[in-house]
């Protein structure tokens, strides 16, 4: 079984800025979102024995994983394949500016793979798919993955055997997580939170 969650809201999210592989810090709301997800995990997992937390190496996912770790009492391991899509020349820029300059690319469903100098769909599949194949098989698999919007989409795509087009239909919430088990996906929505 895999539980997959995205990091909470960051400063860049709040500013409407593209992060990609740049570093950004969780906001107070982001911390509250992750605490809510961690409580859902605590209710889902009766016995944490044998469970592992694997997180992308970026600060926002490490911060999120640390909150989950505090709630569940599990250590955090870094999993480099979970790093977010590289957005090349768009990283650090405002969504609105990029959209205004390149509407034909930015308004496409796969816009995140169109950045100049950025990663492409095939690049991410080449790092995520083989890595997933190395993880323990079900039912021994007991993993909590702390990822990003697009890397989380790519994990779900690979796990569920979705096409590229189907993958682009998946949402990227910061107030819900996903249970991947038995070849199926279940969305677990958290109670609404506000920044303290």
- Bridge partners of 144? 3, 53
Q: How many CA atoms lie within 13 A of 88 on its CB side?
A: 12
- Give the relative orientation of helices 28-44 and 59-72 as an angle to the nearest 10 degrees: 40
Find, among 128, 109, 119, 122, the residue nearest to 167 by Cα: 109
Per the annotation, the verdict on 84 as an active-site residue is yes
From the candidates 7, 91, 119, 148, which is the catalytic residue?
7
Per the annotation, the verdict on 7 as an active-site residue is yes
From the candidates 84, 91, 119, 148, which is the catalytic residue?
84
**Cα dist from 36 to 17, 105, 182, whole Å:** 24, 35, 25
Tokens 């039912």, residue?
139
Kindly list the catalytic residues.
7, 84
């Amino acid at each position: 079984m895999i539980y997959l969650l995205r990091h909470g809201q960051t400063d860049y999210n709040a500013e409407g800025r593209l992060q990609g592989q740049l570093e950004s810090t969780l906001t107070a709301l982001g911390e509250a979102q992750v605490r809510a997800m961690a409580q859902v995990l605590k209710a889902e997992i009766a016995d944490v024995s044998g469970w592992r937390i694997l997180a992308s190496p970026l600060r926002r996912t490490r911060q999120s994983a640390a909150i989950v770790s505090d709630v569940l009492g599990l250590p955090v391991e870094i999993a480099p394949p979970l790093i977010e899509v590289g957005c090349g020349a768009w990283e650090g820029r405002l969504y609105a500016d990029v959209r205004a300059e390149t509407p034909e690319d930015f308004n496409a469903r796969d816009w995140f793979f169109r950045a100049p100098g950025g990663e492409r769909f095939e690049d991410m599949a080449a790092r995520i798919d083989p890595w997933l194949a190395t993880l323990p098989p079900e039912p021994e698999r007991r993993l909590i993955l702390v990822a990003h919007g697009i890397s989380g989409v790519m994990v779900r795509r690979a796990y569920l055997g979705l096409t590229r087009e189907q993958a682009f239909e998946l949402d990227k919430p910061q107030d819900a997580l996903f249970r991947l088990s038995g070849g199926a996906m279940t969305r677990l929505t958290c109670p609404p939170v506000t920044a303290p």
